[in-house]
Structure 1
Amino acid sequence: MRIEVLIDVKTQLGEGPLWDVEDQRLYWIDSIGKKVFRCTVDGRELRAWEVPDIIGSMAIRKKGGAVLSLARGFHFMDFDSGEVELIHDPEPGMQNNRLNDGKVDRHGRFVVGSMDIGEAGKNASIYRLDPDLKVHKLDDGIIVSNGPCWSPSGETFYFADSWAGELWAYDYDLSAGAVSNRRVFATLDNSDGGIADGSTVDAEGYVWNAQVFDGKLVRYAPDGTVDRIVQMPVRRITSLMFGGPNLDILYVTSMSLLLQPHLPKDPIARGSLFAIHDLGIKGLPEFRFGG
């Protein structure tokens, strides 16, 4: 295994690495810095776009461009012009909330959770944006939404409320895009201060979670037991995604914000984009938004 700093971009809150298999490009965001980034598999051809608000997540569209979850709603983004257009705000008037992490299911629906900005109240929900641009609420009573992803069959949806200390699993109705039967998939070992952030599922059906503040990437077996732990050289890692031509490079985002000032400063490359090689594991291709 080899861990490298792919690009030392020093994002304030790097998040949401996304490998697009059609374009063979890696995308990621700076949530607080209000930017979208793109590069090649090896970090070349770096491009950045500014967006008008805090950004929680993004997905590539089948029709071109991207769909974004900005603080105040779902938006389309045109890569050529840089223009951003509001689709729908599912939480009008809820100024203590913002949209956060999201991914696309195998039917092209963008599933995004919101979060309480103060990370205290259970004010947040999970929403589904369909290709016809209608929005549906899937669950609520959440503090900070993170880590949405699906099993290889698409029939199990994984999700985390970061401060709950747990990863959850739901039954996912592929035809309806509905969730049911929420249960605890795994309980985090937070003895080193780690909490659940971004997640992905590999080709073997194992769930990977980035535990922010303790720098651990934890691989969970389908039964929820810990299979493997990768210790990163920085503590403030945020999310992860397999990419590259063979989907065998694990990309990891990090942040430079000192949200936990009592922690020691990371010795290198806070906010950088990392690439992990030679894990012997492949990921799954991400789907594009159908609208």
Structure 2
Amino acid sequence: MRISVLCDVKPLLGEGPVWDVRAERLWFIDSLGRRIYRCTADGAEMRAWTVPHAIGSMALRDGGGAIVALQDGFHAIDFETGELTHLVDPEPDKPNNRLNDGKVDARGRFLCGSMDTGESDPTGALWRLDPDMSLHRLDDGIICSNGPCWSPDAATLYFADSFTGEISTYDYDIATGAVADRRTFAVLPKDRGGAPDGATVDAEGYVWSACVFDGRIHRFAPDGSVDRVIEMPVCKITSLNFGGPNLETLFVTSMAEPPLPKYPGDGPQRGATFRVEGLGVTGRPEPYFAG
């Protein structure tokens, strides 16, 4: 196994790596720096776009462009022009909330959770944006939404409320996008003050979770047991996604500055996007939003 720096643009809060299998490009965001980045698998051909508000996640669209989850709701972005089109704000009555982590299901729906920006109050919710741009609330009472991803058969949704320290599962109806029976899947160790952040599922159905403030990546078996632990060069890792031509490289984002002052800073590699190679595992292609 080899861990190296892919690129080091020093995002305040690097997040949401997504590998575009068609264009063979990695996308990731700076949530608090309000930027979207794109590069090749070796970190070359870097491009960036600026958005007007904090960005929690993005979903590449099947027809081009993306849906971005911003402070004031969901927007469509045209990468050719940089133009944003506001679609819907799911929580206009909650000014202290913002949209956070999200991913696309196998039918092209965008699941995205919200969070309390102070990361203390359970005012967040889990939302589903359908290809017809209709919006549906799936769950609520969440402090900090993170890590939505699915089992290979799409029957199980994994999801974390970071500050519970737990990854949960729901039964997921891929035909309708409905969820049911939320239950605990795994509890991350708290010996170093970490919390479950971004996550992905590999081709074998194992869940990879970035433990933010802890610096460890955990690979969980489908039964919730720990299969592997990887120590990263920085503590504040945030999210991860498999990519590269054969989906064999694990790309890992991190933050340059902690959003909460109680957490210490990392060293000179803080904020870097890393690549982890030689894992002997492959990922699965990320679906495109169908709208």
TM-score normalised per structure 2: 0.98
Contact 2:13-2:258 at 8 Å conserved across structures = no
Secondary structure of residue in 2 paired with 1:163: helix
Contact 2:109-2:290 at 8 Å conserved across structures = yes
Alpha-carbon separation, structure 2, partners of 1:178 and 1:21: 27
**Number of the residue aligned with 2:45:** 45
The change in CA–CA distance for 1:140 and 1:263 in structure 2 (over 3 A counts) is closer
- Unpaired runs of 5+ residues, structure 2, are none
How far off its partner does 1:165 sit? Answer: 1.1
**Number of the residue aligned with 2:154:** 154
**Number of the residue aligned with 1:60:** 60
Contact 2:257-2:265 at 8 Å conserved across structures = no
How far off its partner does 1:260 sit? Answer: 5.3
Alpha-carbon separation, structure 2, partners of 1:132 and 1:263: 41
Secondary structure of residue in 1 paired with 2:163: helix
How far off its partner does 1:3 sit? Answer: 0.4
How far off its partner does 1:265 sit? Answer: 3.6
Contact 1:158-1:169 at 8 Å conserved across structures = yes
Secondary structure of residue in 2 paired with 1:76: strand
Q: How many residues align?
A: 291
**Number of the residue aligned with 2:222:** 222
- Identity percentage over the alignment? 58
**Number of the residue aligned with 2:16:** 16
**Number of the residue aligned with 1:78:** 78
Secondary structure of residue in 2 paired with 1:282: coil
How far off its partner does 1:264 sit? Answer: 4.9
Secondary structure of residue in 2 paired with 1:181: strand
Alpha-carbon separation, structure 1, partners of 2:94 and 2:275: 37
**Number of the residue aligned with 1:134:** 134
1:26-64 CA-to-partner distances (Å, cap 9, x unmatched) read: 000000000000001111100000001000000110111
Alignment of 1:202-213 (within 5 A): 202-213=202-213
How far off its partner does 1:187 sit? Answer: 0.9
What value does the CA root-mean-square deviation take over the aligned residues? 1.0
**Number of the residue aligned with 1:232:** 232
TM-score normalised per structure 1: 0.98
Alpha-carbon separation, structure 1, partners of 2:264 and 2:69: 32
**Number of the residue aligned with 2:33:** 33
How far off its partner does 1:258 sit? Answer: 3.1
Alpha-carbon separation, structure 1, partners of 2:280 and 2:287: 23
**Number of the residue aligned with 1:174:** 174
**Number of the residue aligned with 1:288:** 288
